[in-house]
Structure 1
Amino acid sequence: MDGERSSGTARLLTGVAWAVLLVGLWLWGRELTDVPGGSTPATGDVAAVGRPYPVELPPAHDPLPEARPHRVDIPAIGVQAPVVKRGLDQDKAIDPPSYDQPGVVGWYAGGTKPGAKGTALFVGHVDTQSKPAVFYHLSALKPGEKVRVTRADGSLAEFTVEDVQVFQRDGFDPLKAYGEREAGRAELRLITCGGTFDRATRSYSSNVVVSAYLTGKGP
């Protein structure tokens, strides 16, 4: 998708179009795993995902004016990565960064800009050619940890992780995985593959989805 979208079309799709996008995200998760030599073991601390983690989360910050993401930093797992805008492929799935860019995060540019009201979507590879990629340790994130997005206007949007979930392919609910969790907030989803890698089907058993919400801003 080339060029900037208007503020109207930049917001999350609604109705049937939003449902199509959610299905596309699920398809993206399936296609993303079809890589040569994918890892066999579970990625990150998948076994710990969903366990109670006692931490007091900060209040939500008011949404910020729209601005394109430029970079994402996740100190807890050592991620410092450029963000590139991505569209949908011919199957209506998000077109992820190419496999020769394992350290790059893709942002769905047809949706919300991170920091603005709604749910922004970031996608990244877990591994390529049996080597760890940008979101290899995504499942190790814990509630309360920070995700910082540097934006094109020079501002910083700081998100706080509130949940890390692994969604199995069977009975997958894309709206629950990727949809808005609380109306009126600026939210962020970080999405990659997880679980175990099946060499026969060349796919992972699950998708890891980190949910975060805006809690601060920088100049």
Structure 2
Amino acid sequence: MSENHASGKGRMLTGIAWAVLLLGLWLWGRDLTDGPGGSGAPTTGDVAAVGRPLLQIELPDAHDPVTGVKPKRVDIPSLGITAPIAPRGLDGSGAVDPPPYEQPSTVGWFGDGTRPGAGGVALLVGHVDTRSKPAVFYPLSSARPGEKVRVTGADGSVTEFTIDDVQVFSREKFDAKKVYGAREDGRAELRLITCGGKYDHNARAYTANVVVSAYLTGAAEAPAAARS
């Protein structure tokens, strides 16, 4: 199978998955706990992400897409996030299957979609909290454009992304194309998603999703020792 054909197939699979992922994210926030985490969910996420004035900063040029490998770890230094990545698929109901609640410090990667660094949009999801404490993506609503996200691959390679957009999408106005679709054709992009807004006790779900968008701005091959 040629690389172009494989890439096209990957884009097709990602496109097909959008509708399923939309359902998954609607269901994702349900049955998290008997209520929001004891530490308090980031109810100011909407204000933090879209209500504050953003500094006008010059963002770096995009790096050409690379082959992309299975991701192993994600680091967001500005937010203090360092977490292992586990591939996730769909559960029995057809919804995206996030990491188990017993693993609140693990980030899920939609393994049937794009690999980080490859052309298209790679998707990372993480819990915002548990019944008793913040989870891995609790700080995500505080992300700022210009900050870096580094993804280490299973082979030791590192892809670096620059955040260019932070938005909060209410569940009532969730737009799958805006959340999952590429912001610019031909780029390698990364989307990081968690629950946001307020916890609705009646619906047993958060009222929104925090969506951080980033694009590839650097890539380093795996060390020679790791490739041997």
State whether TM-score is above 0.5: yes
More helix by share: 2
CA contact (8 A) 1:25 1:174 kept: no
2:49 is aligned to 49
Q: 1:181 aligns with which of 180, 183, 189?
A: 183
**In the TM superposition, what is the alpha-carbon distance from 1:49 to its structure 2 partner?**
1.2
**In the TM superposition, what is the alpha-carbon distance from 1:87 to its structure 2 partner?**
0.3
CA contact (8 A) 2:28 2:98 kept: no
Code of the residue aligned with 1:152 in structure 2: it is A
Q: Structure 1 regions of 5+ residues with no counterpart?
A: 1-5
Equivalent-residue separation in structure 2 for 1:198 and 1:45 (angstroms): 15
What is the alpha-carbon root mean square deviation over aligned residues?
Answer: 2.0
Alignment TM-score, normalising by the size of structure 2: 0.85
Q: 1:85 aligns with which of 77, 84, 87?
A: 87
Equivalent-residue separation in structure 1 for 2:77 and 2:202 (angstroms): 35
Equivalent-residue separation in structure 2 for 1:96 and 1:56 (angstroms): 34
Q: 1:114 aligns with which of 116, 127, 144?
A: 116
Between stretches 102-111 and 88-97, larger displacement belongs to 88-97
Code of the residue aligned with 2:49 in structure 1: it is V
- Residues 9 and 30 of structure 1: is their aligned pair in 2 closer, same or farther, counting only changes over 3 Å? farther
Structure number, greater radius of gyration: 2
Alignment TM-score, normalising by the size of structure 1: 0.89
Equivalent-residue separation in structure 2 for 1:189 and 1:34 (angstroms): 22
CA contact (8 A) 1:114 1:187 kept: yes
Equivalences for 1:1-20 in 2 at 5 Å?
A: 9-11=9-11, 13=13, 17-20=16-19
> What percent identity do the matched residue pairs reach?
55
CA contact (8 A) 1:29 1:192 kept: no
CA contact (8 A) 1:86 1:94 kept: yes
Counterpart secondary structure, 1:132: coil
Q: 2:34 aligns with which of 36, 44, 47?
A: 36
Equivalent-residue separation in structure 2 for 1:9 and 1:120 (angstroms): 14
